[in-house]
Amino acid sequence: MFSNKKIKVEVIFNETTYPSALASTFIWGNMGQLTPKSQLIFDDFKVDMVFKNVISPIGPNATIKIYGVSKEHLDAITTVLLRDELEIDYTKRVRVWVDNGSGYIKLFEGCINEAVPVYQTAPECYIQIESSMAAYENSLKLPPISFSGESAAISLESVCEAVCAQYGVKCTTSIGIKKHLPVPRKTIGENDEGLGIRVGKLSEMYDIKAVRTMDGYEFYLKEENSERMWGFTPSNMIGYPSYKNRLLQITTDDFSGIKINDKFRISGSEITYANGSWFVTKITYNLQSRTPNGKWQATIEGAPSV
């Protein structure tokens, strides 16, 4: 029997324009605006998806396989890095929406690093898309950021905002960041650095934590977690919790809103040590639509939370 879970994949073809262009903006950088030109929508196709999200400035990645795509659309989506190309074409993006029966929610959006059709499985051919949430910004080579001013210090929130603004992504700061004492003015980064490397240096310089989201970054103090709290009981977990390398691991099909660095509380589990509060350090999604007994689950890893 087929699962009633659905996955919708949108492939967006962008073009590079410049500040005078009056169009909705995906990303802004020194290469111009990427604005949507056309798109393909694959709604309720057979799709396999593995999406790994961790606490990292570089950002999460996803592997998406779409079955039953026409030859015309396979050719349009195909993105192969040829030997004579100097850099990947980041003008193609992919969005993934999932529906467990309650309506679609957007789970992932990122750049298409590579998309290759697979014919060896004929007649059931598919295209495999490798996507990174932050590949475009990480590829931009921008100059260091210097903070001038009369005082020797600047607010930590202003520093985080400036780094994100340079690459055109959203910046969200925690209560701890907002209330933090001013920090010394420093030059952040070196020439020809992408956003992921620069955010990593920012995190190390001021001992803070950066979480990549679909449209930017959330910044926290090292000891801080998100204020979002989720609850898990045996009724919405698949199997039992496990524990390895100081991390708790649970599997669930109830994952619609949970994010990296969110807190979650387990109650009522027979695994006594699992009951209590944790914060999310990694989420791995394994999703299949239009597949008999297909997977539809997220494996969540968490560290102890006070």
Residues 297-300: contacts with CB under 8 Å, at least 24 apart: 297/238, 297/251, 297/252, 297/253, 297/255, 298/251, 298/252, 298/253, 298/255, 298/258, 299/249, 299/250, 299/251, 300/249, 300/250, 300/251, 300/252, 300/255, 300/258, 300/264
Mean pLDDT of the chain: 88
CA distance 182 to 43: 49
What percent of the chain is modeled with pLDDT above 90? 64
Question: Could you report the per-residue pLDDT of 56-99, keeping only the tens digit for each?
Answer: 777 899 999 999 999 999 999 998 866 555 455 678 999 999 99
- Which residues fall within 8 angstroms of residue 111, CB to CB, at 6 or more apart? 90, 92, 93, 94, 131, 132, 133, 134, 135, 136
Question: Could you report the per-residue pLDDT of 275-285, keeping only the tens digit for each?
Answer: 999 999 999 99
Segments in 120-186 forming alpha helices (H): 135-139, 156-167, 175-179
Mean pLDDT, range 42-66, rounded to an integer: 92
Q: Whole-model pTM?
A: 0.88
For position 28, what pLDDT does the model report?
41
Cis, peptide link before residue 292, omega less than 30° from 0: no
233-248 burial, b for 16+ CB within 10 Å, e for fewer? Answer: eeeebeeebeeeeeeb
pLDDT-wise least confident of 145-149, 242-246, 249-253 = 145-149
